[in-house]
Amino acid sequence: MSILVFGHKNPDTDSICSAIAMAELQTKLGKDIKAVRLGNLNKETEYILNYFNIELPELIEKVKDEQEVILVDHNEKGQSVDNRDNSKILLIVDHHKIDLSTADPINLRFETVGCTSTIIAKLFKENNLVPSKEIAGLMLSAIISDTLLFKSPTCTDEDIKQAKYLAEIAEIDYEKYGMDMLIAGTSVDDKTAEEIYNMDMKPFSFGDQTATVAQVNTVNINDILKRKNELIKVMQEKIKNDKLSFALLMITDIVNKGTELLVVGDKTLANKTFGLDMSKDTVYLEGVVSRKKQIVPPLTNAAN
């Protein structure tokens, strides 16, 4: 039975590309391994797999008991594969906060960098291996995606260093390719409000409240805001079905670096954390582009 490697549910570019890159790394190390995915691709990732002519990983929802797995770009149970508790986790490579408890010793490689693929690029080097041209292109794409072409506050010197190294191997002009890729990812005209909300949505716990935080990148916030009423309906539905305290949507302008935060449900924590006017649905957060660094930690701290 092959080892399975996958990123989080509602996969973004890093979750898909890091899983495929890890599969190549482990294959070069002599392991029998297969990259899979826990959800549908977003437009940006579709553009990337198409650009590098990489086959779509198989969709799975749950794993069998005793299945050997490698996790990339996530560690929390709620974001992972169904039946994970009965699988055997060989390794987790991640750059998020941790919430994990195991019965046995485990291999973990967590670094506070902007992108999981940055860590995987280092792992290739530490093992004296060089990724193929296409896989280097995928890892480069993941770094561009997670760091918004090095503009996000989550971006570190290490991300830029590895991205430049990968761009050389992939023989790509990363500035031009990166902007094309990001813009290809922002078009939502053909999407329903539900699809927009679920594109890059993750569940979280803040103290004793549960919530979802979704993010959509755009080059024009009003393109999304004009569909506010539809989106609120989807989020209200989500709150009811999943018994959440509230639901957030970050509408992030990747050129001007700012986020219009849409809040549905119990607004108390968003009011306390971000100064949301309780009579309104949205608040504009200047300079905020990162869920991981600028939205989740302040909510966690305010809840505790």
Q: Point out which residues bind a second copy (CB under 8 A).
A: 95-112, 126, 292-293, 297, 300-301, 304
DSSP 8-class letter at 55: P
Q: Of 126 and 157, which has the nearer Cβ to a second copy?
A: 126
- Smallest separation (angstroms) from a second copy to the CB of 113: 9
Give the separation between CA 268 and CA 15, rounded to whole angstroms.
32
- Smallest separation (angstroms) from a second copy to the CB of 287: 18
Q: Of 186 and 215, which has the nearer Cβ to a second copy?
A: 215
Q: Of 54 and 123, which has the nearer Cβ to a second copy?
A: 123
Q: Which residues pair with 203 in a beta bridge?
A: 212
- Smallest separation (angstroms) from a second copy to the CB of 172: 27
- Smallest separation (angstroms) from a second copy to the CB of 127: 11
Q: Of 104 and 171, which has the nearer Cβ to a second copy?
A: 104
Q: Of 28 and 109, which has the nearer Cβ to a second copy?
A: 109
- Smallest separation (angstroms) from a second copy to the CB of 261: 19
Give the separation between CA 88 and CA 68, rounded to whole angstroms.
5
Determine the Cα angle at 186 with ends 112 and 193, to 5°: 105
Give the separation between CA 287 and CA 240, rounded to whole angstroms.
32
What are φ and ψ of residue 219, in 5° steps? -105, 0
- For 94-127, b/e burial (b = at least 16 CB within 10 A) is bbbeeeeeeeeeeeebbeebbbbbbbbbbbbeee
